[in-house]
């Protein structure tokens, strides 16, 4: 949660959003950002993506955002993420433009050994039309579930 002069105190004609996202405390209004994160040993704040994207595992909470950053650091990979589908961790990867599928698979297998149950290559991962760098999770999940059935 955040507060300060930069935080909107209310929404225009949206009482539901106000109840879901605003926390009034005395003369201040705090805002739920929806971001997950943690405070490091030196007191630094590390943001780890959106709370609604977190995956509950036996070992704790897993953040797809951290996987996305690791995948994008690989020169052979254009974009990728990890999802939970039918209680399986599924890594979805879009290889770089001229990268052969087998090479992309090998790179991901080497970088993420034993961190997922299934690896799927997609020619083009659906992007949020407002932010081409953000994955459209709902559409991607829908596409993958249709392919499995």
CA–CA distance, 91 with 64 (Å, rounded to integer): 10
pLDDT of 143 > 90? The answer is: no
> Given this model, what pLDDT does residue 149 score?
67
Average pLDDT, the chain: 92
pLDDT value of position 20: 92
Q: What pLDDT is stored for residue 128 in this prediction?
A: 85
Cα–Cα distance between 47 and 27 in angstroms, integer? 27
| pLDDT band of 44, cuts 50, 70, 90 | very high
pLDDT in tens, 102-121: 999 999 999 999 899 999 99
Residue 16 has pLDDT above 90, yes or no: yes
Q: What is the mean pLDDT of residues 50-61?
A: 92
The CA-based angle 148-113-110, given to 5 degrees, is: 100
- For residue 36, the model assigns a pLDDT of 94
According to DSSP, the β-strands at 118-121 and 88-95 are: parallel
Q: What is the pLDDT of residue 56?
A: 94
- DSSP state, residue 72: H
pLDDT tens string 85-104: 888 999 999 999 999 999 99
Q: Where are the alpha helices (DSSP H) in the chain?
A: 15-21, 64-72, 101-111, 137-148
Lowest mean pLDDT of 9-13, 21-25, 129-133, name the range.
129-133
CA dihedral of 60, 63, 67, 73, whole degrees rounded to 10 = -130
């Amino acid at each position: 949660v955040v507060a300060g002069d930069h935080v909107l105190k209310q929404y225009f004609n949206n009482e539901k959003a106000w109840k879901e996202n605003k926390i009034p405390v005395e003369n201040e209004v705090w805002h739920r950002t929806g971001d997950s994160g943690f405070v490091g040993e030196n007191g630094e704040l590390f943001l780890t993506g959106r709370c609604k994207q977190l995956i509950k595992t036996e070992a704790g909470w897993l953040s797809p955002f951290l996987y996305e950053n690791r995948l994008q650091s690989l020169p052979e990979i254009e974009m990728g993420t990890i999802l939970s589908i039918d209680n399986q961790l599924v890594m979805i990867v879009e290889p770089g433009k001229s990268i052969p599928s087998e090479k992309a698979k090998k790179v991901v297998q080497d970088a993420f050994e034993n961190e997922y149950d299934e690896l799927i290559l997609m020619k083009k991962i659906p992007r949020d039309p407002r932010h081409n760098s953000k994955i459209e999770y709902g559409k991607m999940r829908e596409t993958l579930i249709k392919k499995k059935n």
